[in-house]
Structure 1
Amino acid sequence: MNLLWELAGWAGAVAILSAYLAVSMGWLKAGKGFQTANLFGSVAFIINGTLHSAWPSVVTNVAWFLISAVALVRMRSVETPAEPVEAAHLQYPGVPDSTGQMAVVEAFNDALPAVGSGPVLSDGPRLAL
């Protein structure tokens, strides 16, 4: 049984070092695969360290495990995509419409009366520009 736990420790070392090498060389992004390798590697180190009473290693690998677990949970919550939001289209006067829809632009400056002249709009004051 001791041989099994020794092999688990070595497997943990291979998992963590392989993931670190792959990310460092650019072969793998620091995503799910990296965090999963760290998670399993730290579990193997925790088991091996506990059997050898290597408590500093056990504590370090418990922290390593928690960091990887939290990272994986956070990655999972980010994966659920939100509803795609269609951007509002803004059409500026004098700019061709690229949407295929016709834009209606009204010029207000010529339609408004000059200050002190023109009809009164509803029962309110005259418009002045």
Structure 2
Amino acid sequence: MELLWEIAGWAGAVAILGAFLAVSMGWLKAGRAFQTANLIGAAAFIVNGAFHGAWPSVVSNVAWCLISAVALFRMRGAKAVPVDEAPAVHLPGVPDTTGQLAVVEPRTACAA
């Protein structure tokens, strides 16, 4: 039975780190799949942490799980926006994978 709790912990780590990697590399948008992976990973960490008596980890993963659950609940009725209509948003620390170059035009003095 101990092996089951260890497998849960490692599966949780793979789910959360895999989702974080995919979003950070631009392979996945921070949407339903990302939140589902976080929810499942946090739940697995809760099981593993409780087994080991790691209560700070359990508490933080309960919060992580609740955040993902609320996000998924709020997404349930949201209509998916087609990719070509989605606004381009660049978050700090997340690589830009759009392939577009920003063109910045120099300011010109206004004639008075």
TM surpasses 0.5? yes
Separation (CA, whole Å) in 2 of partners of 1:51 and 1:61: 14
Task: Give the letter for the 1:51 counterpart.
Answer: F
For residues 100-119 of structure 1, the aligned pairs below 5 Å read: none
Q: Which residue of 1 aligns with 2:29?
A: 29
Asked if 1:45 is matched to 2:48, the reply is no
Separation (CA, whole Å) in 2 of partners of 1:44 and 1:77: 27
Separation (CA, whole Å) in 2 of partners of 1:79 and 1:50: 37
Q: Which residue of 1 aligns with 2:57?
A: 57
Separation (CA, whole Å) in 2 of partners of 1:11 and 1:18: 10
Ranges in structure 1 where 5+ consecutive residues have no aligned partner = 81-129
Q: Which residue of 2 aligns with 1:83?
A: none
Asked if 1:12 is matched to 2:12, the reply is yes
Q: Which residue of 1 aligns with 2:109?
A: none
Q: Report deviation, 1:77.
A: 2.4
Q: Per residue, is there more helix in 1 or in 2?
A: 2
Secondary structure class of the residue paired with 2:78: helix
CA RMSD in angstroms comes to: 1.1
Count matched residues: 80
Larger radius of gyration: 1
Task: Give the letter for the 2:29 counterpart.
Answer: K
Residues 94-116 of structure 1 show CA distances to partners (whole Å, capped at 9, x for unaligned) of xxxxxxxxxxxxxxxxxxxxxxx
Q: Report deviation, 1:78.
A: 1.9
Q: Report deviation, 1:79.
A: 3.0
Secondary structure class of the residue paired with 2:26: coil
Residues 70-106 of structure 1 show CA distances to partners (whole Å, capped at 9, x for unaligned) of 00000112239xxxxxxxxxxxxxxxxxxxxxxxxxx
Q: Report deviation, 1:53.
A: 0.4
Ranges in structure 2 where 5+ consecutive residues have no aligned partner = 81-112
Which structure has the higher relative contact order (CA within 8 Å, separation 6+)? 2
Percent identity between matched residues is 75
